[in-house]
Amino acid sequence: MRVKYMTGDTSTDQVEEVGSNPTTRIEYPIKMALNNQCYFITHPFDIKDVYLKKIETEYERNVFKTIVPMFHSYKQTTHFVGRQLNYLIMCKNSCVGVIGLGSSVMAMKPRDTFIGWDKETRLQNLVKTANNWRFTVTPLAPKNTGSKALSLLLKICRNEWKKTYGDTLCLLETLVEPPRNGGVYLANGWVNVGETKGTEFIWMKKEVAEKYVSDNPNASICSKNMKFGDSVDYDTVQVVIPNSKSKKLIFVKTLHRYWRRELNGK
């Protein structure tokens, strides 16, 4: 069987016979062009071999960018603005999925009510929360890989967030699009606090945004500017378009017993 690999010494994909390239670092399933069929590496995987590998190299980012469009069921993009901590879900030396944390959604009434935030407190303490912005496993993954990956993420996320961004992580959030019910989150102790309003947020250059809003009276420009890590692009703004997307379920997971005090402190 021929499978597609990414090698450690090139950013390009190579199709090779299994075992023919000793420099291969991570194997991953790939959708072949022929008849749009999927072929998978056939190692005997076991759930005890699942672990997370933090994405730090361009090579690993390319694996992430391949897995998400192929296997994420409804949000098939890797574009994300703001803070990010992304991981490959590994089983032995093969990537069987991906999971990532990013900056939280600026405002969601059900989440904010659950926390007890007013606007001022939310703007100050949003950096102490993170969004599980991508999470998918491939058919190659052993049974229950999703639950184990979430559990592993919960064990490391606070230390990793603190080390990378300097803030104490107190709560995680994620959005699930129906008819999915978020079963893997519920099984890991997450709580469904409500649903979004179906509002769409689009990043645009300021001059483009102004014209878009003038042509679409239902849209408005948010005061939020685009962030890359902790730097701000003041020439790019966020356009808000109400009721343009399907509503999503909001799940949250608190990370320690004093989370409410931390998130509501000023």
Residue 190 lies in a domain: yes
**Distance between alpha carbon 103 and the CA centroid of its chain, in Å?**
9
Rounded distance between C-alpha atoms, residue 236 and residue 213, angstroms? 14
Residues 61 and 142 in one domain: yes
* Largest interatomic CA distance in the chain: 59
Residues 150 and 208 in one domain: no
Give residue 77's pLDDT: 63
Residue 7 lies in a domain: no
| pTM summary value | 0.73
3-state SS string for 157-176 = HHHHHHHHHCCCCCEEEEEE
Give residue 85's pLDDT: 96
Which residues span the domain enclosing 97? 45-196+248-264
Residues 124 and 145 in one domain: yes
Residue 168 lies in a domain: yes
Residues 180 and 111 in one domain: yes
pLDDT in tens, the chain (266 residues): 333 434 333 333 333 333 333 333 455 454 433 334 443 444 567 899 999 999 999 999 998 988 988 887 666 566 677 899 999 999 988 899 999 999 998 889 999 999 999 999 999 999 999 999 999 999 889 999 999 999 999 999 999 999 999 999 999 999 998 889 999 999 999 999 999 987 777 778 888 888 888 988 888 887 666 665 566 777 888 888 887 677 899 999 999 999 999 999 86
Residue 164 lies in a domain: yes
Residues 164 and 235 in one domain: no
The closest alpha carbon to 131, from 190, 52, 184, 72, belongs to 190
Residues 85 and 174 in one domain: yes
Residue 35 lies in a domain: no
Count of helix runs (H) and strand runs (E) in the chain: 7, 15
- For the chain, how many structural domains are there in total? 2
CATH number at residue 253: 3.40.630.30
Give residue 83's pLDDT: 92
Which tokens in the block code for residue 138?
Answer: 């491939």
**The residue count for the chain:** 266
Residues 118 and 232 in one domain: no
Residue 255 lies in a domain: yes
Radius of gyration of the chain (CA): 20
Rounded distance between C-alpha atoms, residue 74 and residue 177, angstroms? 8
Residues 180 and 100 in one domain: yes
Cis amide bond preceding 242, omega within 30:
no
171 burial type by CB count under 10 A (0-12 exposed, 13-18 middle, 19+ buried): buried
Rounded distance between C-alpha atoms, residue 194 and residue 177, angstroms? 12
Residues 93 and 222 in one domain: no
Residue 54 lies in a domain: yes
Residues 170 and 105 in one domain: yes
Residues 169 and 221 in one domain: no
Residue 70 lies in a domain: yes
